[in-house]
């Protein structure tokens, strides 16, 4: 792709997200979502491969359907209430349709089937963008209308996504599909935070972005597309091996790492709201996810001396340098000690 065209597409994608996040009018927010979608479609399809074309088609159809529902729901709300202001969205029917459409855009279960296929057909960089940046605009709309959302629907989406995201990732061998199901499970926790405490949603989303970005940068630096490829991290970058293992543990939510913080605070909110059954189910839903994170860690650490290596080395290591790797890994793993400070803002 022409560098000028690529720069224009990335700028349009960023502009669309900023437009949605800063808008209080439904038409402007919808236009930002559309600008974002139209900008990333050529980026997904730039690989000139049938899988990339398939991923682009699935992404476009899903996002276009969700955008049409958002436009219809916002128009219905304006017709009923006479308000185009996002903060004044109070029509129950519009709220339900908006929740369903935004859940589809974010890839929550049961609207999650497009996400693993799209990520598998994209490059690792595009996969990281879809898993991180593309979550910002829909989540910001949900945050703006959080006072009018139906908590029962949000909790239903959260439970289904957290459970299915863990179980469906168990038999995967492709790292991009594993990260897709990890994204589905984490979005379930974000929806649960949205139902309980909207401010906690921002914290949960931020930590998810840190952890996912750190993991994808590690996978990009080592060109690890399958679990077997993880076995070549040790001879290539021994220092990155240790941080990758820690990041995987953080994604699983193990203390004393950063990933434990949002789960801890959300379970605390569930206990405060006297919801023991839901808190138990959410806690149990992390076990399948933790299993496949541990399996990835096990595949990676099997290559440490004096173990024998089951996979062949790559013939030539391409030296990649990403300046944001160290800061994202630090943020993904070492924020738990400042939890008391963060609680004061939530």
- The model's pTM: 0.90
Three-class DSSP category at 202: helix
Mean pLDDT of the chain: 88
- 256 vs 309, more confident: 256
Q: Looking at residues 202-216, what average pLDDT do you find?
A: 92
The dihedral over CA atoms of 7, 130, 145, 202, expressed in degrees to the nearest 10, equals -100
Give the pLDDT of residue 56. Answer: 95
Domain boundaries, the chain: 150-345
Q: What percentage of the chain has pLDDT greater than the value 90? A: 66
Three-class DSSP category at 168: coil
- Residue 80: CB atoms within 10 A of its CB come to 13
Give the pLDDT of residue 318. Answer: 57
When pLDDT is cut at 50, 70 and 90, the band that residue 329 belongs to is confident
For 265-300, what is each residue's pLDDT tens digit? 999 999 999 999 999 999 999 999 999 898 888 877
**Cα 85 to Cα 90: distance, rounded to the nearest angstrom:** 10
- 102 vs 327, more confident: 102
Q: Please determine, for residue 310, whether its predicted confidence score (pLDDT) is greater than 70.
A: no
**Cα 117 to Cα 114: distance, rounded to the nearest angstrom:** 6
């Amino acid at each position: 792709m022409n560098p000028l065209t690529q720069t224009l597409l990335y700028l349009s994608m960023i502009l669309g997200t900023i437009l949605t996040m800063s808008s209080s009018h439904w038409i402007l927010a919808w236009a930002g979502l559309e600008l974002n979608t139209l900008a990333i479609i050529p980026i997904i399809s730039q690989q000139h491969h049938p899988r990339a074309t398939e991923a682009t088609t699935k992404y476009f159809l899903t996002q276009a359907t969700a955008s049409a529902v958002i436009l219809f729901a916002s128009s219905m709300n304006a017709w009923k209430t006479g308000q185009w202001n996002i903060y004044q969205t109070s029509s129950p029917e519009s709220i339900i349709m908006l929740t369903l459409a935004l859940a589809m855009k974010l890839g929550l279960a049961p609207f999650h089937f497009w996400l693993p296929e799209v990520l598998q057909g994209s490059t690792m960089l595009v996969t990281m963008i879809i898993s991180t940046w593309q979550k910002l605009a829909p989540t910001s709309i949900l945050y703006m209308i959080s006072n009018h959302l139906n908590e029962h629907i949000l909790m239903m989406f959260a439970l289904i996504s957290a459970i299915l995201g863990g179980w469906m990732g168990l038999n995967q061998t492709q790292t991009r599909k594993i990260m897709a199901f990890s994204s589905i499970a984490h979005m379930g926790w974000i929806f649960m935070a949205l139902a309980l405490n909207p401010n906690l949603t921002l914290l949960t989303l931020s930590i998810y972005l840190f952890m996912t970005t750190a993991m994808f940068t590690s996978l990009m630096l080592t060109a690890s597309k399958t679990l077997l490829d993880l076995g070549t991290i040790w001879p290539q970058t021994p220092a990155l091996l240790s941080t990758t293992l820690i990041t995987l543990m953080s994604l699983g939510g193990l203390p004393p790492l950063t990933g434990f913080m949002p789960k801890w605070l959300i379970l605390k909110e569930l206990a405060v709201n006297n919801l023991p059954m839901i808190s138990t189910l959410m806690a149990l839903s992390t076990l399948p996810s933790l299993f496949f994170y541990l399996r990835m860690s096990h595949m990676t650490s099997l290559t440490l001396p004096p173990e024998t290596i089951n996979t062949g080395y790559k013939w030539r290591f391409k030296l990649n340098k990403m300046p944001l790797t160290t800061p994202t890994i630090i943020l993904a793993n070492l924020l738990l000690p400042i939890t008391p400070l963060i609680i004061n803002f939530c």
